């Protein structure tokens, strides 16, 4: 109810400003014991981790891990922060975030704006959160794509001891050539290198942290076949399906519908869920799947589950429905 009252005010602000104001308000409210939500306990074991419920926060909302405790109060079963890069970067020029309310959609071309991996680690260390924390890692825009592996290694090493799982983001459309890492030798090299380092870190810290890949919905059948084979070959622990789409289906002709960037929210649901089902068919339960993309109701969370997801994540849908979406999804899922 509080969110329904606040939404008209927030939607009167520029989207990126509204994002900042919302997080600041949430943090202040959390300190006062407000804006907390109790959800049903529905434990799910996935990647060797027991999640208190299957509904998580997707990466992107809290890029620097500065609001972990406040977000945890909303009842998420797990929280994913990032995407983080080795060095701080401002991201793409503003404006770079656009609402399309008529379609319950968002287009963003943020470009991995973040304060750098060292600041994220400090924020995580300062938080009181003891739940499941995913950390999403990427590469700096200034790093040539052929040298991307080095950026991912830096982040992997620095966050390893602070994450419940680590997500390798190679599917944002907003960093030049990043999606080229989803195919061919580039993907093989990346996964092989990160997997070897993960095993070394597990030995060093005497603690195994799962490694997860996040892919785009804009994949051909041959792409899905290849990625699935690589996941199995290198024993990657999980797959997040999907990131935002470059398609503009569902927002054609709408204000801001032709802005560059990744489209999220309601229009991506069908495309993302079809991609999820395709991976589920190929992987046959050998790699756990996390379904994300266009969830705006409990029924849609269930659809992701039926398509093969063990867990789901939400973000854009919550901008339109508010935090009650978390409870609705948990209640609906089995």
- Residue positions forming the annotated binding site for substrate: 63, 108-112, 169, 174, 243-244
The number of distinct structural domains making up the chain is 1
Among residues 171, 172, 264, 272, which one is catalytic? 172
Look up the domain containing 89 and give its range.
Answer: 1-332
User: pLDDT band at 5, cuts 50/70/90?
Assistant: confident
- Residue positions forming the annotated binding site: 59-63, 83, 108-112, 136, 169, 174, 214, 242-244, 265, 294, 315-316
Q: Which residue has the tokens 């991976």?
A: 279
Q: Tell me the mean pLDDT in the region 263-284.
A: 98
Half-sphere exposure of 176 (CA within 13 A, CB side): 8
172 labelled catalytic: yes
- Residue positions forming the annotated binding site for FMN: 59-63, 83, 136, 169, 214, 242, 265, 294, 315-316
Give the separation between CA 238 and CA 166, rounded to whole angstroms: 10
Note the pLDDT of residue 4. 83
- What pLDDT digit, counting tens, does each position of 89-144 carry? 999 999 999 999 999 999 999 999 999 999 999 999 999 999 999 999 999 999 99
Give the separation between CA 87 and CA 158, rounded to whole angstroms: 12
CATH (domain of 269): 3.20.20.70
């Amino acid at each position: 109810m509080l969110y329904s009252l606040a939404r008209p005010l927030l939607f009167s602000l520029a989207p990126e400003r509204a994002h900042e104001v919302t997080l600041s308000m949430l943090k202040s409210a959390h300190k006062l014991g407000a804006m907390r939500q109790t959800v049903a306990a529905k434990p799910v074991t996935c990647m060797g981790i027991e999640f208190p419920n299957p509904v998580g926060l997707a990466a992107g909302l809290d890029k620097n891990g500065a609001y972990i405790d406040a977000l945890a109060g909303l009842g998420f079963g797990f929280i994913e922060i990032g995407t983080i890069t080795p060095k701080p970067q401002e991201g793409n020029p503003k404006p770079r975030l656009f609402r399309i309310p008529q379609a319950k959609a968002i287009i963003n071309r943020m470009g991995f704006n973040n304060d750098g991996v060292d600041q994220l680690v400090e924020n995580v260390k300062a938080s009181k959160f003891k739940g499941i924390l995913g950390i999403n890692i990427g590469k700096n825009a200034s790093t040539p794509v052929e040298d991307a592996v080095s950026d991912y290694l830096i982040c992997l090493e620095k966050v390893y001891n602070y994450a419940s799982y680590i997500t390798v983001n190679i599917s944002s459309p907003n960093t030049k050539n990043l999606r080229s890492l989803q195919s061919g030798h580039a993907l093989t090299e990346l996964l092989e290198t990160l997997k070897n380092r993960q095993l070394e870190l597990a030995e060093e810290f005497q603690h195994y942290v799962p490694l997860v890949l996040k892919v785009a919905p804009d994949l051909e059948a041959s792409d899905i076949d290849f990625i699935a084979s690589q996941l199995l070959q290198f024993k990657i622990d999980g797959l997040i399906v999907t990131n935002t789409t470059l398609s503009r289906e569902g927002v054609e002709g709408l204000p801001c519908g032709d802005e560059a960037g990744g489209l999220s929210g309601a229009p991506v649901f069908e495309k993302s869920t079809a991609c999820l089902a395709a991976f589920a068919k190929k992987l046959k339960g050998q790699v756990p799947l996390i379904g994300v993309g266009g969830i705006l109701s409990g029924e849609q969370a269930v659809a992701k589950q039926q398509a093969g997801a063990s867990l789901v994540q939400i973000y854009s849908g919550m901008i339109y429905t508010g935090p009650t979406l978390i409870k609705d999804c948990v209640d609906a899922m089995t």
